[in-house]
Amino acid sequence: MNDPQKIETRVTVQDEPGPMQRTLGEAVAAGLLVFGVAMSLFHIIGLGFYPVDPIALRSVHLLIPLVLVFALLKRGKRSPGRRMSVFDWVAIGAGLVAVAYTVTHTEEIQFSAASVPDAWMITAGALLTLLTLEATRRIIGLPLVVIAVIFLLYAYLGPYFPGMLEHRGKSLGRISGYLLSDNGLFGVPIHASAAYAFLFVLFGGFLRATGVSSVFMDLAFAFAGRTRGGPAKVAIISSCLFGTISGSGIANVVTTGSLTIPLMKKTGYKPHFAGAVESIASSGGMITPPVMGSAAFIMAEMLNIPYYEVILAAAIPAFIYYAALFWMVDFEAAREGLVGLRREELPNARQVLTSSGYLLIPLGVLIYVLVVEFSSPIRASLLSMVASIGVVWVKEAVDYFRAEGLSGAHPFALARAMIRGLFDKKKPMSLPGMFGALAEGPRGMMEVAAACATAGVVVGMISLTGVGLKFAALLIDLSGGHLFPALVLTMIVCIILGMGLPATASYIVTVAVAAPALIKMGVSPLAAHMFAFHFSIVSGTTPPVALAAYAAAAIAKTSPLAVAFTGMRIGIVAFVVPFMFVYAPPLLMAGSPGEVAVATVTAFVGCILLAAGIQGIMLVKAEFADRALFLVASMLLIFPGFYTDMTGLGLAAVGLLIQFRRKVRLRLSGSAFAPVAPSSPKE
């Protein structure tokens, strides 16, 4: 029975064209649709069934930004909005010719970094580099392009730089040939994008087409909607769940925030706080296994470790991140006297799992194949795509038998129904639906592929000139050889780079210049990379840029800077967690089960105390003494060590005792200054 008071939890994503996006004619749009399907099929076949030469795979993958960006995005605001310019057609043609050259000369290109390139190779390298930089400028912006150009100029003008930055300089031919090798454009970043990230993005598209996003929202509302400040907790849970298949903070904000932000405002949260909760929670999607954006695949490739080790290492930090956010909004709701939603407004968890739980099976397949079977990401993503198609069609067959009954069902009638369903546009896994998902996959990879290719240019020039070692020595000198200042400097570099770069590019550049220094100072390679990865994501919510905050502010109809600064306050744990796992490697699953358990529990308790200290409330509203005790105790528990843990627990106990005594006094006096505790709204 449908209740008219039920809240709307159905997720719909509408892609609104940006100011630089074109509206193309039917013929060109149809051509791009065919191109997208062809690219998806090429990756599926080339990775899963018929192995393709690595250079050829990366070259063809580079066509995604070289074709789609020039076709879909204008060169400038004054460029034609309904047709492609001559320059765009020439750029696409030149890109196709250059890629055709690389595909047919893979053996020569593999050795181009250590040999003298010929004129054709120099031309192809220069052409692909220039086209990649222009495509990156259009879809990402100037900052990453400027950084790449600076490193290119540094490689060429080496003798003119002062002091430790001086080097002999490289010829244009040497630079161009190096860029065409697997140390430049076709290096680790574009390899991770082509071999792993593409299939995961494609799987995410198939999974979203089944309607799983609405299942995530329903479950989040069912589990947390009735609790104190329920909509904010729903935002956190749904963003965490959606982040497992998204890997994009802004997409997460737009998808889940369109439902949760208005509900948060309705239940009493201030607009800037509602936007801040959604932006911070959505940004955490990129640190949530198993997808974690393309940077996680690049990390696995750079460290030469299996991908499942990366997602296992990311699990506990992600849990602590979201747990801390959960307590932040709970204490905010307690302080403001906010309640949750009524039961009759919310979906029932059992009914959701009974009716739509089967849509979670593909995600379970992905996690099982990666974590239990320790299989490759390629196999995991392909099997999960098959599962996302299979569960929909099995459900169709089950519904048919339920409608007809086992005795009345006929195999030929079932076959006819299935064949009709294949051509029904309303069915998510019909041929048109699958065709659309295949076509959308490359569009979802435009920014990632462009960023990875341009980041490859930067990394290539760092490798060619050896400046990475000089940066590492400089970082050690600036920090005085001490780890904590070195970590702070790395954090600052990440945040500054992240203000103008996508998280993936920011991570790659930061790791190239800072990770060697951190590793030399005793940090494990995985912890050093994860540290840079986390802060590259934090930059997306850090003012003044804070793209996720701007997206949330638009929905909340409030100031973006207010959202960003509030997000920094409630999401302060994002600045703390990376330091935690550097000093406590068990948080990255590096240690015995006992060490992992102790580190996790103390960090979790520390984050709760941090939330209580910042929000100024635990059992009752805090005063200066107990608030200070909670903050100091949280810092002691967050950083590992037997004595710091014991001292932190002792201070926390004193703070709780003060709170408990105040709570008793308030109760006895009947004060309106009511004590608070986690609760559900009265029905």
Domain shared by 186 and 198, yes or no: no
For 581, what's the count of Cα atoms within 13 Å in the CB-facing half-sphere?
34
Cβ neighbours around 120 below 10 Å, total:
11
- pLDDT of amino acid 406: 59
Domain shared by 222 and 349, yes or no: yes
- pLDDT, the chain, mean: 84
Place of tokens 């949260």: 269
The answer on pLDDT for 495 being more than 50 is yes
Domain shared by 45 and 106, yes or no: yes
Whether residue 526 contacts residue 314, with contact meaning beta carbons closer than 8 Å, is answered with no
Out of 190, 212, 229, a domain closes at: 190
How many independent structural domains does the chain possess? Answer: 3
In a domain, 531, yes or no: no
Helix ranges restricted to H, 499-559: 503-520, 525-538, 547-556
What span, in angstroms and rounded, lies between the C-alpha atoms of 98 and 131?
A: 10
Whether residue 241 contacts residue 367, with contact meaning beta carbons closer than 8 Å, is answered with no
Looking at residues 484-508, what average pLDDT do you find?
84
- pLDDT of amino acid 531: 94
In a domain, 75, yes or no: yes
What span, in angstroms and rounded, lies between the C-alpha atoms of 59 and 65?
A: 11
Domain shared by 154 and 236, yes or no: no
Domain shared by 343 and 408, yes or no: yes
Domain shared by 179 and 83, yes or no: yes
Q: What is the pLDDT of residues 433-469, one digit of tens each?
A: 888 889 888 998 898 899 999 999 999 999 899 888 8
Domain shared by 184 and 250, yes or no: no
Out of 156, 190, 224, a domain closes at: 190
Domain shared by 617 and 636, yes or no: yes
Whether residue 508 contacts residue 459, with contact meaning beta carbons closer than 8 Å, is answered with yes
What span, in angstroms and rounded, lies between the C-alpha atoms of 486 and 517?
A: 8
- For residue 544, whether the previous peptide bond is cis, meaning omega lies within 30 degrees of 0, is yes
Range of the domain at 623: 591-670
Domain shared by 134 and 212, yes or no: no
In a domain, 116, yes or no: yes
| Residue type at 499 in one-letter notation | M
In a domain, 306, yes or no: yes
- Contacts with 668 (C-beta within 8 Å, 6 or more apart), sequence order: none
Domain shared by 130 and 220, yes or no: no
DSSP code at position 425: T
Domain shared by 177 and 198, yes or no: no
Domain shared by 225 and 82, yes or no: no
> Alpha carbon of 82 to those of 24, 35, 73, 85, 443: distances in Å?
5, 19, 11, 10, 19
In a domain, 540, yes or no: no
Give the whole-number percent of the chain exceeding pLDDT 90.
Answer: 27
In a domain, 405, yes or no: yes
What span, in angstroms and rounded, lies between the C-alpha atoms of 427 and 123?
A: 48
In a domain, 433, yes or no: yes
In a domain, 393, yes or no: yes
- pLDDT of amino acid 519: 92
Confidence band of 16 (pLDDT split at 50, 70, 90): very low
- pLDDT of amino acid 134: 95
Place of tokens 């068990």: 586
Out of 157, 190, 223, a domain closes at: 190
